[in-house]
Amino acid sequence: MTDRKDYKLFISADIEGITGVVSWDETETGKPDYPYFRKLMAQEINAAIEAALECGVTEVVVRDAHGDARNIMPNDLHAEAKLIRNWSEGPMCMMEGLDEMFDAVLFIGYHAKAGTPNAPLKHTYSGRIFDLKVNGLSLPEAGWNALIAGHFNVPLIFASGDRALCEQVRELMRDVVTVPVKQGIGRACLSLHPDKAHQAIREGVTRAFAQRALWKPYRLEPPFRLEVTFSDEGLAWRAQWYPGVKLINERTMLFENSDFFEIMRCFSFII
């Protein structure tokens, strides 16, 4: 365990990767089961916060990063955390609030990328995107958001969600601690009991802080090449009007730049 006592931690939280979630209805405001699963979302975040505080974290910022970004009720969140709700419409998106002053990033409730077999509610940002690539690497949201963290020199150290997501994270960043809280079986899902999921997350976060020597921001080498394949050719047609975007084919756009922030800016406008 590290002997530092002043870590600043950023948590980006989604809901599709929370234990037990198997249906879009369970993730959508106004649907009958949604209040239950939004509470489970907060509980998994709190489990991570509890472990982080024991590891020397003194400041925690949680970014509600699902749907309308208004899923976490403030009084359901751990009292030591600050909460970012709603979308600013800026390029940081699921990583809103992060800057170079943070020491580490955690992802809670994340899910696999679009097209992944045996992965509940898999998608990449929205149903509009079939595939997202940077420098030829096909990325889940966790990969894209880890690159945003890397742009600010902040390492992703932990991710929880479905098993397929955890495998995708480890393929990209082998030293990141991952905790699968469920496993997809076609459209079905084998899930941990919430109490067991919370315990696994606490233990995983503790392991992540114990291996401080392995922390490393996730980066790719410039120039950066952003390729987005859309689910519909009309979306690619629209994206081509962003300055610098070219169409590779009827559904895939390309944007290149040496500054990753410009890649982020382009992506925020075309999705």
Dihedral over alpha carbons 52, 111, 260, 177 (to 10 degrees): 40
Residue type present at position 222: P
Please check whether residue 118 is in contact with residue 164, taking contact to mean a CB–CB distance below 8 angstroms: yes
| Cα gap 140→145, rounded to integer Å | 9
Residue 52: closest CA among 209, 213, 216, 215:
209
Name the one residue in this structure whose structure tokens are 């006592």. 5
Cis peptide before 223 (omega within 30 of 0): yes
Residue 80: closest CA among 7, 177, 1:
7
Please check whether residue 121 is in contact with residue 24, taking contact to mean a CB–CB distance below 8 angstroms: yes
The token pair at 48 is 């991570």
According to DSSP, the β-strands at 177-185 and 156-162 are: parallel
Residue 210: closest CA among 49, 56, 48:
56
The token pair at 237 is 């047609």
For residue 82, how far is the Cα from the chain centroid? 18
What interhelical angle do 163-172 and 141-151 show, nearest 10? 40
Catalytic residues: 123
The DSSP bridge partners found for residue 230 are 129
